[in-house]
Amino acid sequence: MTGGTLVGYFSQTLGRRFSIIVICIVGGALLYPYTYTSSKAVIAAAFFEQFCVQGAWGVIPIHLMELSPGSLRTFVVGTSYQLGNLASSASSTIEATIGERFPLPALHRGKTTVKRYEYGKVICIFLGCVYAYVIILTLIGPEKLGRNLDVAHDSDMAEVTHQDLRHHHHGGDDQAIAHEKSIA
């Protein structure tokens, strides 16, 4: 929660894309201490890694809302969320398959042999790929920070209700005032 709250707050001034990309880079830099620490120091690494994950994934929904047309905002964000769940549903299978490529020495307990795998390396690879994917998608997309999301500024709603947004002033919209003055 801390990562989502703080990164979300700072994304208001620094920009959504910048915030997502920077926090993904920081999260990527923390992957080694997060996945290869075997002492109690992993607690600090885990906290900061989760801070980065929640920071990036906390800003993504509002970024998608700012990019989406009014009539599709909730559909885009909700569908993206569910498609993300669909894609991540296979992650345990993918991690297990990758894990088999990094075996550790087996444990022998009496007559039983327990196979072991280096899942720290698997998590590092997997999270690194996810961070890279998010960075690339965020880099190629636009930024619409500060887009007015209320219904009074929604062109789709104006079309449905047969209103002309150019002649309605809803406070604080300096561009609308300037446009009204240029028309008069």
Residue 159 has pLDDT above 70, yes or no: no
Fold of 2-143: Growth Hormone; Chain: A; (1.20.1250)
At residue 42, the pLDDT reads 84
CB 60 within 8 Å of CB 78: no
pLDDT at position 128 is: 94
Q: Which residue has the higher pLDDT, 168 or 112?
A: 112
pLDDT, tens digit, for every residue of 131-151? 999 999 999 988 887 766 666
Residue 104 phi/psi, 5-degree rounding, is -105, 165
Amino acid at 130: V
pLDDT given at position 105: 87
- Residue 2 pLDDT > 90: no
Q: Where are the domains of the chain?
A: 2-143, 148-184
- 159 or 126: which carries more pLDDT confidence? 126
Burial 149-170 (b: 16+ CB within 10 A, else e): eeeebbeeebeeeeeebeeeee
Residue given tokens 């920081």 in the structure block: 26
What is the model's pTM?
0.75
Read off the pLDDT of residues 95-133 as tens digits, 9 standing for 90 and up.
889 888 988 888 888 888 888 888 889 999 999 999 999
HEC sequence for 34-51: HHHCCCCCHHHHHHHHHH
Q: How many CB atoms lie within 10 A of CB 129?
A: 11
pLDDT on residue 69: 82
Alpha-helix residue ranges (DSSP H) falling in 30-154: 31-36, 42-67, 73-88, 91-99, 119-140
